[in-house]
Amino acid sequence: MRRLFETAIGRDLRFCPACRQPFVAPREILASHDDGHHVVELVCANCAWSAIERHHGERLGALDRALDRDTAQIEAAARALALSLELDRIDRFAAALRGGHILPEDF
């Protein structure tokens, strides 16, 4: 669903009004005004909701900071997952060594 020039006063811009998930991000800044407001296209990565809305730069800055925090959390989770997978691989290799399943000629 696409709406033109909505306002979202009081709504956390990260949360989609359609699916209520925190996956809304700006796709494009369409216009900037002298009063500090910007017309932006917002899109939900979860349900494809989109709208063109007018927001003050401070609200868009808060959205940008929230997206940066979310990105950092995703990156930290990806690093933790990679470490967990590597430790699991090492444990399986060590178990195979102890069990005699790996021989010198395997290398």
The residues spanned by each domain of the chain are 2-99
Residue 16 has pLDDT above 60, yes or no: yes
> How confident is the prediction for the chain on average, in pLDDT?
91
Contact 54, 37 (CB under 8 A): yes
**What pLDDT sits at residue 103?**
84
Residue 1 has pLDDT above 60, yes or no: no
Token pair, residue 88, equals 């699991």
pLDDT in tens, 57-94: 999 999 999 999 999 999 999 999 999 999 999 999 99
C-alpha to C-alpha distances, 67 to 15, 21, 99, nearest whole angstrom = 11, 13, 48
